[in-house]
Amino acid sequence: AFLQKTNLNGESVYEQLAKVVGKVLDEKPDDAVDLLETSVMVKKTAFKPADPPLMAADPKNVATAVALKELYCAPKREIDPESGEPIEPAEDLLNEFESENIVGDAAMYEAVGLGLSMSEMYGVMLCAKRLGEDPKKNCATVRFFGKVLGTDGDYYVFETSIKEHEPVEDAPETPPGQVPPEPAGEGSNEYTYFVCSHLGGAFTRLPDLTPAAVVAARKIKKYFTGDLTAPVWSYPAFPGDEAMYLRAQVGRIVSATVVSPAGYLVAVGEDEEPKKLVQPGTEDYPDLPAFEEKEDLQEMREPVNWSHRYRYLKKQGRVEQYTPPEDADPDAPAVDPPEPDVDPELLVTLDGDTESECVDWGSCVMEEIDGSAQKQPAWTSCTSSNVVGVKNQTVAIKSMVWPGAFAVYQAGPKFSNCYVGYGIKNAPYVPAPPPAVLNEAEEIPKESDALPPKADAAPAE
């Protein structure tokens, strides 16, 4: 133990003697008895690498790493100041919610080579758990919409339904002459969306969708920056910041690409009331025929076996068409009448999307074939394996109108929707024309520059 004591440089007599003996045995010098000089030579020729330079860490990366670490760790318990023991969290303080099997969906995504990686989806699952259990958010359901990519940062978007919407104080009023938005929990605002810039980061609630934002978003093409407070510089001018633009694009994407197997859901309700989607054959709806799976899984590659799950977002920017009331103020600016638009039924199949006149559906970018423009299919499909007879295959359909949107299906039935892309529609961009040039102003009559005539002098007396 005495020989193994180290000095300030971390060297010990035992290590030094071992090096001397090793050097003598390796080199076998003629004068091997001069151990002292050999020991000095070993010490002088020892190589000591310099300490590597310290790299300055970006504070933003450090914060991201800390948030991700805390996401995977167990939540910290509060300490009782009197006993010093950790306080067991009360289970009734956590909010109860429903969610899809995100990790199970990730396995289907991985089978067809779409979506995010398995490790990233596990972090998404933990984020959805944290969001759903937060009693302040009051979420009834949580669904992972997808990941919207940006130039300086990305957005993880989560779709939620709120148990009870609280009245918003100091809500902005709709300017005169514009179409009012639909109330929270109805129509285009049926779902509430939360985003975070990185896994484990703080959630930010996106604003409710306004018709003006939808109409303006359909006229521009912009990449996201990753900053919700960034202005959206465009022509025509966009009414809001990037948070509103993100909400508008998410609303357009879910209206066009969130699908389910045809027959898996059924719309029930009165004719005058909004219909509700239910699963037939369950305990609540035993009279409705249950969903029957296809014998051949390859049939799910056909668009006719899929149906739109969300309602169509009309040209006006709303799900329900708005008509100004008859007793409106005659002195206020009038609301423009709605443009002629189609009204597809809920759960309409995807086989008509290519020829559809819906503004966010339609066909893919038209391609010149033999000198004429031909419409391209709105949907394409793929499978996890092309080998015949492989069990537990996964089928996926991908939107060609909104690149990055897809749906997967496995026997069971199991299906899921997801989006990973830049939030840009695959359609020709036609810039809006500039406003009309104003007419020349009318000429204003100009007074004469001549001096007024002098008054005649009075005659002398």
Please name which of 272, 284, 336, 344 lies closest in space to residue 314, comparing C-alpha atoms: 344
Please name which of 74, 171, 189, 87 lies closest in space to residue 126, comparing C-alpha atoms: 74
Distance CA 127, CA 160 (A): 13
Alpha carbon 10 to its chain centroid, in Å, reads 54
What integer pLDDT is reported at residue 150 of this predicted model? 95
What integer pLDDT is reported at residue 367 of this predicted model? 63
What integer pLDDT is reported at residue 457 of this predicted model? 60
What is this structure's pTM? 0.80
Pairs from 8-16 (Cβ < 8 Å, separation ≥ 24): 16/42, 16/43
Q: What residues have CB less than 8 Å from 382, skipping those under 6 apart?
A: 112, 113, 301, 395, 396, 398
pLDDT digits (tens, 9 = 90+) for 23-34: 778 877 777 666
Q: What are phi and psi of 39, to 5 degrees?
A: -65, -40
Q: Are 246 and 195 in contact (CB under 8 A)?
A: yes
pLDDT digits (tens, 9 = 90+) for 46-85: 667 777 777 777 777 888 888 989 898 877 777 778 887 7
What integer pLDDT is reported at residue 40 of this predicted model? 63
State the pairing for strand pair 367-369/372-374.
antiparallel
Q: What share of the chain is helix, strand, coil (3-state, %, to 5)?
A: 25, 15, 60
Q: What are phi and psi of 34, to 5 degrees?
A: -80, 75
Distance CA 93, CA 98 (A): 16
The letter for the amino acid at 409 is: Y
- DSSP of 294-316: -SSGGGGGSGGGEEE-S----TT
What integer pLDDT is reported at residue 130 of this predicted model? 93
Under DSSP, is residue 17 helix (H, G, I), strand (E, B) or coil? helix
Q: What residues have CB less than 8 Å from 249, skipping those under 6 apart?
A: 148, 217, 423
Please name which of 107, 177, 156, 197 lies closest in space to residue 414, comparing C-alpha atoms: 107
Distance CA 58, CA 63 (A): 9
What integer pLDDT is reported at residue 41 of this predicted model? 63
Q: Are 155 and 223 in contact (CB under 8 A)?
A: no
* Sign for the pseudo-dihedral over CA of 229, 213, 202, 171: positive
- Give the residues of the chain that fall short of pLDDT 50: none
Residue 420's beta-bridge partner residues?
147
Q: What are phi and psi of 244, to 5 degrees?
A: -70, -35
DSSP code for 79: B
What integer pLDDT is reported at residue 45 of this predicted model? 66
